[in-house]
Amino acid sequence: MFEADVQNVTQQAATGAVPAGNRVREVISEAHQRYAEHTDGQVADYIPILAHADPNWYGISLVDVSGKSFSVGDSQIEFSIQSISKAFIFALVCQELGHEVMHQRIGVNNTGLPFNSVMAMELNDGSPMNSMVNAGALATSALIPGRTTAEQWENIRIGLSRFAGRSLELDGEVYQSEMKTNFRNKAIARLLESYARIDIDPLEVVDIYTRQCSLRVTSTDLAVMGATLADGGVNPLTGEQVVGSEVARDTLALLASCGLYERSGEWLFEIGLPAKSGVSGGMVAIAPGKGALGLYSPPLDSAGNSVRSQRACAYLSRALGLNLFASSAYQSAKG
């Protein structure tokens, strides 16, 4: 589907690094221009305040592992991180509890069902399934260290800020708006409680999860956060080791299989990168060892993924040689 759009763009093989600065600048400007006039998709409104977003907002950023940063369009507009936070919360909890616990206690398989499905849990003995869907994300946030939920929330805010390399702040309006309407997440948390999958009060878990989703970021922040996962867990701007390299690896593996909800298979087939999207229109796509793209454009497809961001990623993955699965023949390279 996205492939058809970029058929005439030469597929570069996934070799060592992102191309030189000038080329990156040129290609991300092209990606921006190419889709700026596209009007497909709907701005989310199930969290009422998100409906205020301008459908024309569109920003693209790329940060590479050496810390070089490139941006075009509305890369300085702040929006709520929403589900993209799930990727980084998984990483923080995996850092604390380890690969095995995340595998056994939360799970790492795709549900094939929408992000807020109750059915996925019911069909799987109450398993939260994976940290990228709401059930698994709630169960994962419940495992963030802290003696109280206030302490857990502060650890979430500080942890995500370390990925971004700057202090991220709560968008109080988004938080209030979602807290008034998140009946389904409250139901999922109660269900987790009924299956003994969380040890703290379900409504408190929903509260910290909703706060984490309401942290404000820009497309540049998302690119820095993603580049930290591309760089063995080291933030390329601050030099801080935010999580270990094995945790960064585990997070990317999970994003490859579950990052775009029930469209994850299609996404990997079309674009070939671990990625995570959120309902406010943000997206992060990571090229391990190279860097990451952060994108923002509010109109979404029916699965809740930003339409322009997906299209721009398809173009960039191809033109910059980011697709993990694209090789060129050894013999032809020699000759």
Q: In this chain, which of 121, 223, 252, 279 binds ligand GLU, going by CB under 6 A? A: 279
Q: Find the binder of ligand GLU among 79, 115, 163, 175 (CB under 6 A).
A: 115
# binding residues, ligand GLU (CB under 6 A): 11
Which residues from 77-96 bind ligand GLU, rule CB under 6 A? 82-83
Asked if 71 touches ligand GLU (CB under 6 A), the answer is no
CB contact at 8 A, 271 and 310: yes
Binding mask 24-63 for ligand GLU (x = CB under 6 A): ----------------------------------------
Choice from 106, 213, 256, 322 touching ligand GLU (CB under 6 A): 213
Closest-approach residue to ligand GLU (CB): 83
Residue 171 burial (CB count, 10 A) = 22
Burial of residue 204, with CB atoms counted within 10 A of its CB: 0-12 exposed, 13-18 middle, 19 or more buried: middle
Q: Is 278 in the site for ligand GLU (CB under 6 A)?
A: yes
User: Which residues ranging from 124 to 163 are in contact with ligand GLU (CB under 6 A)?
Assistant: 134
Q: Rounded distance, CA 257 to CA 30, Å?
A: 29
Q: To the nearest whole angstrom, how small is the minimum distance from the Cβ of residue 171 to ligand GLU? A: 12
Pair 255, 271: CB distance under 8 Å = no
241 vs 144, 151, 245, 307, CA distance in Å?
Answer: 18, 22, 9, 33
Nearer to ligand GLU, 65 or 213 (CB): 213
Which is closer to ligand GLU, CB of 82 or CB of 264? Answer: 82
Q: Is 304 in the site for ligand GLU (CB under 6 A)?
A: yes
Q: Is 185 in the site for ligand GLU (CB under 6 A)?
A: yes
Structure tokens given for 238: 């601050």
The distance of closest approach from Cβ of residue 130 to ligand GLU in the complex, given in angstroms and rounded to an integer, is 14
Q: Which residues make up the interface to ligand GLU (CB under 6 A)?
A: 82-83, 115-116, 134, 178, 185, 213, 278-279, 304
